[in-house]
Amino acid sequence: MPTTTTTTAADVVEGVRRTLEDVFEAVAAARDRTAPLAATARTAGRALITADLAALRPLLHAQLSAHRDLISGAGFIAEPGLLGDVPAWLEWWQTGRDGELRPLLLDLDPATSAYSDYTHWDWFALPRANGQRAVAGPYVDYLCSDEYSLTLSVPVYDNGRFLGVAAADVYLRHFEAVVMPLLRRLPGPACLVNARGRVAASTDARRLAGSLLKGPVAGVPCGEIPLVLVTAAPG
C-alpha cells in the first residue's frame, strides 16, 4: 500500500525558517560590510559620509541578482545625524519591474517630504530599541515601492554606537508564493504571525494577510525568525 506523508507544524516552520534565514543571511552580510566602514572613518577621526557607503553597492547588487525571486530591495539605512554630509540617508537599491537595479532616491527634507523621518517604521524602530533583528509587516511600503511587503532588518553597531539598520524588502506576493504551499499541506487552517500579531500569510479565511490578531499569540516559533505559526487562532 502507498504511504501517506503527513506535513506537520514542524515541517512548515522549518520551511519558513529556511526561506527567511536566507534573507537574513544577506542582511547580515550588509551589516558586516557597513560596520568596518564606520570604524575606518572613526579611526581617521572623521564622520562617515555617503561616499563611504558606495562601497556597499557591489554586495547589494550581487544579493539582488542572486535572490531576484524573493528580495526586491536591500541596503543600509543610517541613523539620522550619523553621516557628516547629509542629515539622513538610505543606501538602498531595488530591482525594477524591468529587472534593472536602481538606487532609491528619496526626498528626505522635512520641509518638503512626509517620509523624511523613517525612524518610526518598525523595521528601524524595533532593532534600534531592542538590538535584535525584526520582521516588519506586512504593510504597504509607501517609502520604497507602494507594494505590500515584509522588511527584514538587523541593527548595525560600531564600537557600541548604533549606526542604523541593514535591511531587505520581500514583496508579500513573493513570500506567499513560497510559504502558502507549505501552509496548505497542514490538516487545518493556519497563519504566520509576526511579533506584533500581524498576519503575514494565511490559509484561515478569518485571518487574512495584513490583519491583526487580538490578544497574546500562541503558536509554534519559526526558530529564531520572529514569526509564529498559529494553527488554532482564537475566534
Which residue type is seen at 135?
A: V
Q: What is the mean pLDDT of residues 184-198?
A: 91
Classify each residue of 128-157 as buried b or exposed e, where b means 16 or more C-beta atoms within 10 Å of its C-beta. Answer: beeeebbbbbbbebebbbebbbbbbbbbbe
Amino acid at 209: A
pLDDT at 1 over 80: no
Residue keyed to cell 509607501: 142
Cis peptide before 58 (omega within 30 of 0): no
pLDDT of 233 reads 44
Asked if the model's pLDDT at residue 49 lies above 90, the reply is yes
> Model pTM greater than 0.85?
yes
CA distance 50 to 136: 26
Q: Which residue, 95, 196, 76, 96, is CA-closest to 137?
A: 196
Using the predicted structure, report yes or no on whether residue 158 has a pLDDT greater than 60: yes
Domain positions in the chain are: 11-173, 182-230
pLDDT over 90 percentage in the chain: 71
Q: Could you read off the pLDDT of 71-120 as tens digits, one per residue?
A: 999 999 999 999 999 999 999 999 988 889 999 988 787 777 777 789 99
138 vs 75, higher pLDDT: 75
Distance of CA 232 to the CA centre of its chain: 26
**Is 234 a residue whose pLDDT tops 50?**
no
CATH value of 11-173 in 3.30.70.980, 3.30.2130.10, 3.90.230.10, 3.30.450.20? 3.30.450.20
